[in-house]
Chains A and B, each alone.
Chain A
Amino acid sequence: MIGVVAALVGAIACVGLGGALLRDADIDEALVAGVGALGLLLLPFTNGLALPVLLGGSLILAATGWLRRPTIRWPGMPWPTLLLLVPLVLAAGVVALGAPTDTDEVYQHLALPKQLLNEGRLPTGELRPNAARPLGLHLVYTTVMALGGATAAKTLHLVMGVLLLLRTEAIARRMGGAAAGFVAVAAMAGSYTVVRELGLAYNNLPTALACLLALDACLGGRGWRMALFGAVALSLKYTAAPVLAGIWLVYLFRTRRFKETLATGGAAIAAVVPWWIRNAADGLHPLFPFAGWEAQDRFEFAFLDRYGMGREWTDLLLLPWNATVHAETTSYVFLGRISPVFLLGAALVIWPVLRRRGELAAAAAVALVGCIGWAAGPHWLRYLLPTLPILAVLTGVGATTLPKRIGVVLCLAVVGAGLPSNLGPWIPQIPIDEPRAEAIPGHSAARFASERLPQDSKVAVLFAWPDWYLDVPYVLSSVEDHVPTRHWLYVHGDDSLEALRAEGVTHVLVGRVNFIHKSYPFLSDEQFHEQFEVPEAQLAELLLADGVLLFEDNRYAVWRLQP
């Protein structure tokens, strides 16, 4: 319960800070502005002095924004929407109270704030690629986690997730009436990819909220407010970029003010420049870890072909159908699921867009650019989240073109007839039995390292990611393709452990992945062997030659590096 209180304290403080900046704002606008501003203000703490008391204290500073007595408005909450959201929030709340077991939380979203709290700083570099991303939201998570642990970050995320759904409803209601609002929010709530993240500490939904607020500001002709929310969105996650590009294009088209469009765009980008400078100061490419790896000329980093259902022209044409009908939550076939009603909504909204133009056409244009941008990148449905609320708005408005009875049936279909996993992402997440954390791959090895290694140990986490459960300083760690680990081995070869030792690493926590060629069918035998099999086998040999085996539990082991 302390976590919930800490999250509310954090939210109130951020609303105060955001309110002071905006003076007159809806509560979601103030919260997003406050999160963005606080995240930027806390950036210097990543280089040191990130003491829990200072981070927690920064919330008091943020809360002084209330002294400016800003006008903060609550969102409208129509009762059908409330009825839909209450059970979702309750279920998400249960998830938020549980031990972190989600992969992305364990290796990144909660692990980075914890690392900052434990080590007092969060340096970047090839050994810490996750820390080189823009971390505005993670720094705010750190402040509330200093007060209330992981639950605080998850609850704060839940608050932003609910505000996203309410803002989606509000925009759709404004464009198409109450029914449109309800269908829009129901489409979101009926989508696995949205719902599964509500009770987790992620950054996709807050990014989507910032994008939606930027769109709303764009539609209202408020360029500088659009710049503010665009800046926040970019500093939370780069996947906002395509939607923001659409928003700025629409702003230019609607206002015909080229200079202002350019200035606001520059201002939005300027908000992430401090993160780029931070990387450059550490000798990295500003956009690291998305660019600038040492061996990028001979080492493949992103396997776009691995996600979705192909990237030929025919696949891209079929993408809307495939992404809604064939998506799977447990495989790289889009790795998620959205309600199939989005597909219907997209078809239904075409006529209203052509007929009414105005705001609706503007939103459709932004959604189109967002979808094209998503299609150009990895076909993960979570990367579509910044665009998805806009698609939900269009779906809601599209649904209102149907006769009322059909509309009702459609609404029921949204909530009840979605593919089963659209409705049940909670079930595997709800922590019914306490020891679920022990199911995290490498959990026992992480606990061993935390409880049994000497105080001054530094662990390299290779082919493994149980970061949240590590209480000792650590570097690397990787998931999925294990790029950071493979790249380290690729670059340093037989000297890989020696190079780690030179970085102060004393121990290695290693997992055994056994990469399967079938997962990378687009690679030749030679490519797969060189990029996947060789690094893993090489590490196993190096550890046998150079390490002392201290712990082993199935696929995970802890080795001490011999001096």
Chain B
Amino acid sequence: MGCFGGKVNRAFHLPSGEQVELERSVEAPGLAEGVLVGPTGRWVLPATEPMDRPEELEAIAPWITDGERVLVATPNGLVLREPGGEVHIGGSPTPWRQPALGEGFVAWIEDEVVMLLEDGRGIVEWAPGRHVAAQDRIVAWIDDERVCVQKLGEMKQCTWTDAHTSRALTLDDGVACWESWNGADVDVECSDGFRVGGDGHQRAPSRDNGRVLYRDGETVRVVSVE
């Protein structure tokens, strides 16, 4: 949770409150349970030094990982690193927009949502969109008017919203969260109806295991959904 680009030099384990100061900062890393991976290596927390330093890639967006696999957007396409090897995916991913790693598919933004499906359909133009997220068999995306969540093979569920300030989309157990403009300031809104409002801007939501991490002005806050 909580990675939207920029350099990261500290990891915080929310349930235990344990903090890990990284020996060196890492640019726009991907984050999964206990794992941090970026251009300068792969950290298995609470280690403060990277476990391994794979060949560097010219990343143009934050990395994404599910703990085992790593997906990196580069100027020449995407690189999917799996335990069995590395797959190069042709394309022209839009810089800064984090790609998405699902079960049996990967997705990225190329002016619209593009997906590589493992069911033999190859690369497909999925939907108009500015940000994409994935988890298991679920994909979610933001377009200019809606946030949509879809389990592959099923109907999409869309929420009308104004997410023009969003830096990314976060997906947890089929629930998407994003930044939502309420007409006066930015709130955090989720597809299950959960909302964080209040004075000023609540931005950069990141949802995982029933917790939503977000920025409230200069303060980082976490709130439990249950």
Closest to B27 in A: A554
Asked whether A549 and B95 contact (CB < 8 A) given A544-B186, A544-B201, A554-B5, the answer is no
Asked, given contacts A544-B201, A549-B166, A562-B164, whether A554 binds B181 with beta carbons under 8 Å apart, the answer is no
Knowing A452-B94, A544-B186, A562-B164, the reply to whether A552 touches B201 (Cβ < 8 A) is no
Docked Cα-Cα span, A562 to B145, in Å, equals 12
Q: Which one, B94, B96, B130, B165, contacts A553 given CB within 8 A?
A: B96
Question: Nearest chain A CB to B131's CB is how many angstroms away?
Answer: 10
Given A444-B95, A452-B95, A553-B96, CB of A548 within 8 Å of CB of B5: no
Given contacts A545-B181, A548-B164, A549-B164, contact A554 B6 (CB under 8 A): yes
From B96, B167, B201, residue with most partner A Cβ within 10 Å = B96
Q: Judging by beta carbons under 8 Å apart, are B5 and A552 in contact?
A: yes
A398 to B159, CA, bound (A): 81
The answer to the question of B103 belonging to the interface, with a C-beta cut-off of 8 Å to chain A, is no
Per-residue B-contact encoding for A443-465, CB less than 8 Å = 1, 0 else: 01001100010000000000000
Which chain B positions have C-beta within 8 A of A551? Answer: 95-96
Besides A548-B130, A548-B164, A550-B130, 15 new A-B residue pairs in contact (Cβ under 8 A), listed by A number: A448-B95, A448-B96, A544-B165, A544-B185, A544-B186, A545-B181, A547-B164, A548-B144, A549-B165, A549-B166, A549-B167, A552-B5, A552-B96, A554-B5, A554-B6
B114 to A: closest C-beta gap in Å: 15
Encode contact with A along B1-38: 1 for CB under 8 Å, 0 otherwise: 00001100000000000000000000000000000000
Most buried by A among B94, B164, B166: B164
Q: What residues of B have a CB within 8 angstroms of the CB of A550 in the complex?
A: 130
With a cutoff of 8 Å between Cβ atoms, the chain B residues found around residue A545 in the complex are 181
Residue of A nearest to B58 (CB): A435
Chain B residues contacting A447 (CB-CB under 8 Å) are: 95
Contact with A along B93-120 (1 / 0, CB 8 A): 0111000000000000001000000000
In the complex, what's the smallest C-beta–C-beta distance from B164 to chain A, in angstroms? 4
Min CB–CB distance A512 → chain B (angstroms) = 12
Write out the residue numbers on chain B whose beta carbons fall within 8 Å of the beta carbon of A547: 164-165
The 0/1 profile, CB within 8 Å of B marked 1, for residues 520-557 of chain A is 00000000000000000000000011011111111000
Of chain A, the residue at the smallest CB distance from B95 is A448
Cα(A550)–Cα(B96), bound, Å: 9
A431–B181 alpha-carbon span in the complex (Å) = 45
CB distance from B36 to the nearest CB of A (A): 19
Contact with B along A410-448 (1 / 0, CB 8 A): 000000000000000000000000000000000010011
A-B contact pairs, 20 of them (CB 8 A): A444-B95, A448-B95, A452-B94, A452-B95, A544-B165, A544-B185, A544-B186, A545-B181, A548-B130, A548-B165, A549-B164, A549-B165, A549-B166, A549-B167, A550-B130, A552-B167, A553-B5, A553-B96, A554-B5, A562-B164
Nearest chain-A residue to B166 (Cβ)?
A549
Closest chain B residue, CB of each to CB of A558: B96
Could you tell me the distance between the alpha carbons of A545 and B164 in the complex, rounded to whole angstroms?
Answer: 9
B6 partner residues in chain A, CB cutoff 8 A: 554
Residues of the B chain whose Cβ atoms lie less than 8 Å from the Cβ of A554: 5-6
Bound Cα distance A447, B96 (Å):
12
Instruction: Give the docked Cα–Cα distance between A24 and B111 (Å).
Output: 62
Interface residues of chain B, those whose CB is within 8 Å of chain A, are 5-6, 94-96, 111, 130, 144, 164-167, 181, 185-186, 201
- Min distance, Cβ A440 to any Cβ of chain B, angstroms: 16
Count residues on chain A whose CB falls below 8 Å from chain B CBs. 15
Q: Cβ of B201: which chain A residues have Cβ within 8 Å of it?
A: 544
CA distance A157 to B202 in the complex (A): 51
Which residues of chain B are within 8 angstroms of A444 by Cβ–Cβ distance? Answer: 95
Q: Chain B residues near A549 (CB, 8 Å)?
A: 164-167
Q: How far is the CA of A547 from the CA of B162 in the complex (A)?
A: 11
In the bound assembly, the distance between CA atoms of A444 and B95 in angstroms comes to 9
Q: How far is the CB of A326 from chain B (nearest CB, A)?
A: 35
Chain A residues within an 8 Å CB radius of B96:
448, 551-553
Note all chain A residues with C-beta closer than 8 A to B5: 552-554
List the A side residues contacting B186 at CB < 8 Å. 544
Least distance between A160 CB and chain B CB atoms (Å): 38
Complex Cα gap A197–B198 (Å): 53
Q: How far is the CA of A552 from the CA of B165 in the complex (A)?
A: 11
Report the separation of the CA atoms of residues A448 and B185 in the bound assembly, to the nearest whole angstrom.
Answer: 27
What chain B residues lie within 8 Å of A553 (beta carbons)? Answer: 5, 96
- The chain A residue with its CB closest to the CB of B7 is A554
Q: Which residues of A contact B185 (CB under 8 A)?
A: 544
Nearest chain B residue, comparing its CB with the CB of A444 = B95
In the bound complex, how far is the Cα of B165 from the Cα of A551, in angstroms? 10
Tell me, in angstroms, the Cα distance from A452 to B112 when the chains sit together: 12
CA distance A545 to B185 in the complex (A): 7
The 8 closest A-B pairs by CB, nearest first: A548-B164, A551-B96, A448-B95, A544-B165, A549-B165, A554-B6, A552-B96, A544-B186
**B17 CB, min distance to chain A CBs, angstroms:** 28
Inter-chain CA distance A544–B186, complex, in Å, is 8
A547 CA / B167 CA spacing, docked (Å): 12
| Chain B residue at minimum C-beta to C-beta distance from A454 | B111
Q: How far is the CA of A166 from the CA of B226 in the complex (A)?
A: 79
Chain B residues within an 8 Å CB radius of A548: 130, 144, 164-165
CB nearest to A560 among chain B residues: B164
Complex CA gap A548/B167 in Å reads 10
Chain B neighbourhood of A552, CB < 8 A: 5, 96, 167
Looking across the interface, which residue of chain B has its beta carbon closest to that of A545? Answer: B181
Q: How far is the CB of B62 from the nearest CB of chain A, in Å? A: 11
Bound-complex Cα distance A447 to B5 (A): 17
How close is B190's CB to chain A, nearest CB, in angstroms? 19
Q: How far is the CA of A452 from the CA of B95 in the complex (A)?
A: 9
Q: How far is the CB of A190 from chain B (nearest CB, A)?
A: 40
Q: Closest residue of chain B to A549, judged by CB?
A: B165
Chain B residue at minimal CB-CB distance from A448: B95
List A contacts of B164 (CB < 8 A).
547-549, 562
A451 to chain B, nearest CB (A): 8
Tell me the bound Cα distance from A210 to B80 in angstroms: 60
Q: How far is the CB of A208 from chain B (nearest CB, A)?
A: 42
A444 to B59, CA, bound (A): 12
> Please, which residues of chain A bring their CB within 8 A of the CB of B95?
444, 447-448, 452, 551
Chain A nearest CB from B181 CB (Å) reads 7
- Alpha-carbon distance between A452 and B130 when the two chains are bound, in angstroms: 13
Chain A residue nearest to B144 in the complex (CB): A548
**Nearest neighbor of B185 in chain A, beta-carbon distance:** A544
Q: How far is the CA of A434 from the CA of B33 in the complex (A)?
A: 37
B117 CB to nearest A CB, Å: 25
Which A residues are CB-close (under 8 A) to B144?
Answer: 548
A544 to B204, CA, bound (A): 13
**Which residues of chain A come closer than 8 Å to B166, judged between CB atoms?**
549
